Amino acid sequence: MIKVSVMFPNTPGARFNHEYYRDRHMPLLKSRMGDRCKYYTVDKGLACGAPGTPAPYAAMCHIFCDSVDAFQAGFGPHAQEIEADIPKYSDLAPVIQISEVVVEKS
Amino acid sequence: MIKVSVMFPNTPGARFNHEYYRDRHMPLLKSRMGDRCKYYTVDKGLACGAPGTPAPYAAMCHIFCDSVDAFQAGFGPHAQEIEADIPKYSDLAPVIQISEVVVEKS
């Protein structure tokens, strides 16, 4: 299994609507990807490891799929629609990482 | 619930032993934190969003706890022992983020 992590750098002054992201954007992505998205998780950045320092990322989501091919098959045909929804909740450009899920849940 | 994400930047030439991390380091952390670590996940970086580009992070783990206080109570007393284990699998300095879990599993 793989996960696609979409991470929004926590840039001072940037905009991120966590409610829209949770209630509208991620359900849109899931509805378009269908079963090719097994499930997803959403995080809201609170802090860095050191006290009083900001979180590196304002928000992250992790999209779990059987394979990179499954992700591309599910996301690709809807990429334009899903990406066009980003300005509705943020002006940040995300960092994207594809990972192998080594331990799904200990 | 919160998650503590420990992310190892994918630096060229750096060392990261994924087997040790999965089989020794993370079980050590879990054994020391006990129930204050509800569970954890482990990722191995495969790629960036753009084809042919390296993953931003060589590896990540995400440690799930009821609260920041629970994490600190579980990790703090064992921080020295757990951090002393890092050189056994990597020479990378991790980026750490504490997040609120907005969606645990869709």
Interval B12-66: pLDDT, tens: 999 999 999 999 999 999 999 999 999 999 999 999 877 778 999 999 999 999 9
In this structure, what are the phi and psi dihedrals at residue B49, rounded to the nearest 5 degrees? -65, -35
B101 touches chain A (CB under 8 A): yes
CA atoms within 13 A on the CB side of A51: 2
The amino acid occupying position B17 is N
Distances (CA, A) of B101 to A51, A97, A98, B66, B96: 19, 19, 20, 10, 15
CA–CA separation, A26 vs A38, rounded Å? 13
- Percentage of residues in chain A having pLDDT higher than 90: 93
Is A36 touching B (CB cutoff 8 A)? no
Verify whether the Cβ–Cβ distance B102 to A45 is below 8 Å. no
Residue in A43, A96, A103 closest to B42 by CB: A103
> What are the pLDDT digits (tens) for A52-104?
789 999 999 999 999 999 999 999 999 999 999 999 999 999 999 999 999 99
Report the DSSP pairing between strands A95-103 and B39-48. Answer: antiparallel
Between positions 40 and 79 of B, the ones with CB within 8 A of A are 40-49, 55-57, 59-60, 68
Quote the ipTM score: 0.94
pLDDT above 80: residue B1: yes
What H or E segment, with its residue span, contains residue A43? strand A39-48
Instruction: State which residue of chain B sits closest to A72, comparing Cα positions.
Output: B49
Closest Cα in chain A to B26 = A106
Task: Please give the Cα distance from A52 to B2 (Å, whole number).
Answer: 17
For A46, the token pair is 């609170």
Give me the total of CB pairs closer than 8 Å, taking one residue from chain A and one from chain B: 117
How many angstroms away from the CA of A68 is the closest CA of chain B?
10
| HSE-CB for B86 with a 13 A CA cutoff | 13
| B contact test, residue of A43, A44, A62, A105 with most B CBs within 10 A | A43
pTM (2 d.p.): 0.95
